[in-house]
Chain A
């Protein structure tokens, strides 16, 4: 397995609602690519901060007095959400909009992970887009590694 690309970094809540793109040059076409993606923490475990964010959200979304939330509160776990999508030199290669904070994806000539579009990855610029839907924790560490391998 040859490492084609590797990056890591730290996000804060101010990074929410942004797309971060990494553009990688592939000197020759690739038949199979594995992508490891992880971020941590997933869950906002500080109860005081979670309650604050819930109250801010309720004030924002139930801002029309004709439609109150009737005291019904969403008390589910609050989480960070980062997702990946891919574009090769010819166009879109799919997106993995899902919640696990550790994902092992593959993109191959004949098959690909759900969400991705199978096919050879042509030589040229290959773009990874990390969509930062929400960072709720004070910091969130992410890591992306891409390997060229045999299917």
Chain B
């Protein structure tokens, strides 16, 4: 089945917590920004849900219900249609607090795990004694201009380290959208792989498909172009194909990149690196089955034309395929 990559913003706030947007304003801004859908993750409450259902119908922007547990020991994103109490979790009790969440089928994410906490941002730093099998996603990119933030570099390293330890944990991007920043800083999005033609669907149907994509880990993180990974196990070995999808029509264009480099990463380290993915935008690697290959992902790096800093940075990456 043909699939599209649909840009979603999975971490937003309204006046129902400490955001500046009314629910209607948030959905209007989301439509103007070209998001196919947004997750509503107000701090510690689900009270915006009735308004948000109406706003999704009005704007055509799909709604993923959710909330952000804003505790003293970390912020936990929950995507799902039910409220769960956030006040019970102490640093050693996260597994217990998440048990009803997980049995309901809500999806769990560790928000901005290395963002400095008190006294700067209360509870923002992840201090939970964590069984990472309880966590579906790490928000490895938080905020605007995410690839440059030191706390995101550290989150990315944590994620790769957990993958190498064998955890099947995924990564995503969240803008932590509270207000219009008015700056020029670049946003990234979480791109959800949805069946093609989803653009003509009702928001409620897109919402259901998006939750399925989130459950199945069909998410890529990018400022625009999306590296797409295909794995085929054949008798001779594992065939890994990557192509960069530059036709999504959201955010940074491939033509705005210089010195682009496409890289296939794995638990065995870098498997291949292309110095000119712009022309080919395609890479095939064949690895023997005897290797202890456990996970593979792809990332696109480069310089952004006209960027005053001009430094080489991570532009996009996909979630791993597990071998």
**Closest A residue by C-beta to B121:** A74
**Which residues of B (1-46) have their CB < 8 Å from a CB of A?**
14-18, 42-45
- B18: nearest chain-A partner, CB-CB: A98
Q: Is the CB of A92 within 8 A of B85?
A: yes
Identify B117's interface contact among A61, A97, A136, CB under 8 A.
A61
Chain B, 56-100, contact with A by CB distance < 8 Å: what is the 0/1 string?
Answer: 000000000000001011000000000101010000000000000
Query: Of B48, B119, B150, B153, which contacts A136 at CB under 8 A?
Result: B119
Beta-carbon contact of A69 and B150 below 8 Å: yes
Complex partner residue of A97 from B70, B116, B120, B154, CB under 8 angstroms: B70
> 8 Å CB contacts to A: which residues of B227-278?
none
User: CA–CA, A85 to B71, complex, Å?
Assistant: 13
Q: From known contacts A98-B18, A116-B47, infer whether A85 and B87 are also in contact, taking CB-CB under 8 Å.
A: yes
The binding surface of chain B is classed by DSSP as loop
- The size class of the interface chain B forms with chain A is 20 to 34
Q: Which residues of B contact A96 (CB under 8 A)?
A: 17, 45
Cβ-neighbour of A114 out of B14, B72, B87, B125 (below 8 A) = B14
Q: Is the CB of B47 within 8 A of A134?
A: no
Q: Across the interface, which residues of B come within 8 angstroms of A136, CB to CB?
A: 119
CB distance from B74 to the nearest CB of A (A): 12
B87 touches A98 (CB 8 A): no
The smallest C-beta distance from B262 to any residue of chain A, in angstroms, reads 25
Interface string of A36-72 (1 = CB under 8 A from B): 0000000010000000011001101110101111101
Cβ contact of B16, chosen from A44, A114, A129, cutoff 8 A? A114
Decide if A114 touches B47 in the complex (CB within 8 Å): yes
Query: Is A81's CB within 8 Å of the partner chain B?
Result: yes
Would you call B122 and A133 a contact (CB within 8 A)? yes
> B123 at the A/B interface (Cβ < 8 Å)?
yes
Contact pattern, A 1-33, Cβ under 8 Å of B = 1, otherwise 0:
000000000000000110100000000000000
Chain B residues lying within 8 Å of A44, measured Cβ to Cβ, are 119
Tell me how many residue pairs across A and B have CB atoms closer than 8 Å: 95
- Is A140 close to B, CB under 8 A? no
The answer to whether B118 has its CB under 8 Å from any CB of chain A is yes
Please state if B48 and A114 are interface contacts (CB–CB under 8 Å). Answer: yes
A133 touches B72 (CB 8 A): yes
With A and B bound together, what is the CA distance between A101 and B18 in angstroms? 13
Closest to A133 in B: B122
Complexed CA–CA distance, A133 and B157 (Å): 28
Chain A residues whose C-beta falls within 8 Å of the C-beta of B119 in the assembled complex: 44, 53-54, 57, 78, 134, 136
Q: Is B114 an interface residue (CB 8 A)?
A: yes
Whole-angstrom CA separation of A69 from B149 in the bound complex: 9
Partner of A95, one of B14, B43, B157: B43
Is A143 interfacial (CB 8 A cutoff)?
Answer: no
Interface string of B190-213 (1 = CB under 8 A from A): 000000000000000000000000
Q: Which residues of B contact A54 (CB under 8 A)?
A: 119-120
Q: Which of B16, B70, B114, B123 contacts A61 (CB 8 A)?
A: B114
What chain A residues lie within 8 Å of B116 (beta carbons)? 57-58, 61-62, 74
Q: Do A97 and B17 contact each other (CB < 8 Å), given the known contacts A115-B42, A115-B47?
A: yes
Asked if residues A94 and B45 are in contact (CB atoms below 8 Å), the reply is yes
- Contact between chains at B120 and A76 (CB < 8 Å): yes
Known A-B contacts: A57-B120, A94-B47, A112-B47. Give 11 more (CB < 8 A). A16-B118, A17-B73, A44-B119, A60-B125, A66-B154, A69-B150, A74-B116, A94-B45, A96-B45, A115-B16, A117-B45
